[in-house]
Amino acid sequence: MRRWLNDLYYGHGQTRFGLAYVVVDLLIIAFFIVAPLARDEPWFLAADYAVAFLLSVDFAARAYATPGLRAWLRNPIVWVDAVILLTMLAPQYFANFGFLRVLRLWTLANSPLFWRTVSRGRYRDTRVEEVTRAVVSLVTFVFVMTGIVYSNFLGSAGLASYIDALYFTVTTLTTTGYGDVLLPGAWGRIVSIVTMLAGITLFIRLGQAIWRPHKVRFPCPACGLLRHDVDAVHCKACGTLLNIPNDEDA
C-alpha cells in the first residue's frame, strides 16, 4: 500500500491520478472562495464536511506514502494544509481562521505533483512557472486579506458583505483608496498598511517575473552557483565551463 501511494503522489508516471488530483483541488479551492457567500445555503454544511473528509484522506495518504516523514514535516506546505484541516475539523475553535483555506491555492501551485501533471516537466524551472507562481501568490494574498477584513471588520463603515471586503482589499492593494470603506481603529490601519506594502511587493515580483531575463537552474560543478543565463557557457562566479541541457528541440 505504501509503495502504491508513493508512486501515486511522488512517482512520475501517474498522469491520470495527477490530473484528477489537480481538478478536484481546483474545485475545492473554488468552494473555499465562494464559501463566505454560501454559508446560509442548505447544502453548505454537507459540502463543507465532504471537503473536510477529502482533505483528511489526502493528508493522511501523503503522510503515509512519504519516504521520509521528518523531511516531509519540515515542508511549509504540509503545515499550511494542516492549518486548513484544523479550520474545517474544529470550526468551533478555528472559525475566525477560515480565510486561511484559500492558501490551498498556494500549496497547489507549489506542489511538484501539479507541475508534473500540468506540464509533464516542460515548464519546470521556466518563465511560465515563475510567472504562474507570482500570479498565484498575488491572488492568494488578495483572498486571504479579504478574509481577514471580512472576519474582523464586518459591520464597519461601508463594510456590509464579503464583496465589500474584496472591494476594500483590491482598492487598498492598488493604493487607489477611494475612502468609501474604512477600517476602524489601530488594527484597521495596520491591516491597511500591510495590504498596501505587501501588494506593491507582489506586483513588483510579478513584473520581474514577466520582464526580467529568465535564468535557468543548473548548479555549477565548481562553486555551486545555481542560476545562470539561458545561453551561459561559463559560470559568472568562477568561470567554470558549463554544460546546461537545452531541450528546446525536444
List, in order of start, the domains of the chain with CATH numbers.
1-124 (1.20.120), 126-212 (1.10.287.70), 217-250 (no CATH)
User: Distance (Å, rounded) from C-alpha 140 to C-alpha 40?
Assistant: 24
Within 8 A by CB and 6+ apart from 109, the residues are 132, 133, 136
Q: Model confidence over 46-67: pLDDT tens digits?
A: 888 899 899 999 899 988 888 8
Tell me which H or E stretch contains 217: strand 215-217
Q: For residue 146, is pLDDT > 80?
A: yes
> Is a pLDDT exceeding 70 seen at residue 124?
no
C-alpha 155, offset from chain centre = 29
CA 55 to chain centre: 16
Predicted local distance difference test score (pLDDT) of residue 56 = 92
Rounded-to-integer distance, Cα 97 and Cα 221, Å? 46
Q: What confidence tier does 249 reach under pLDDT thresholds 50, 70, 90?
A: very low
Q: How far is CA 81 from the centre of its chain?
A: 11
Q: Which residue, 31, 37, 52, 27, is CA-closest to 150?
A: 37
Q: What does the alpha-carbon distance between residue 249 and residue 118 come to, in Å, rounded to a whole number?
A: 20
Residue 245: what pLDDT? 74
Q: Provide the 10 A C-beta neighbour count for residue 105.
A: 22
pLDDT, greater one: 154 or 56: 56
Q: For 68-80, what is the mean pLDDT?
A: 84
In this predicted structure, the answer to whether residue 133 has a pLDDT above a threshold of 50 is yes
Q: Which residue has the higher pLDDT, 14 or 15?
A: 15
What does the pLDDT read at residue 48?
86
Cα(172)–Cα(194) distance, integer angstroms: 10
User: pLDDT > 90: what percent of the chain?
Assistant: 4
Determine contact, residues 38/29, Cβ cutoff 8 Å: no
Paired with 234 in beta bridges are: 241
3-state SS assignment for residue 229: strand
* Separation between Cα atoms, residue 207 and residue 194, nearest integer Å: 20
- Report the distance separating Cα 102 and Cα 112, nearest Å: 19
C-alpha cell at position 115? 507541475
Q: Look over the chain and give the mean of its residue pLDDT values, rounded to a whole number.
A: 82
The per-residue pLDDT for 12 is: 67
Alpha-carbon distance of 101 to 97, in angstroms, equals 8
pLDDT band at 119 (very low <50, low <70, confident <90, very high): low
With a pLDDT cut of 70, the percent of the chain lying above it is 90
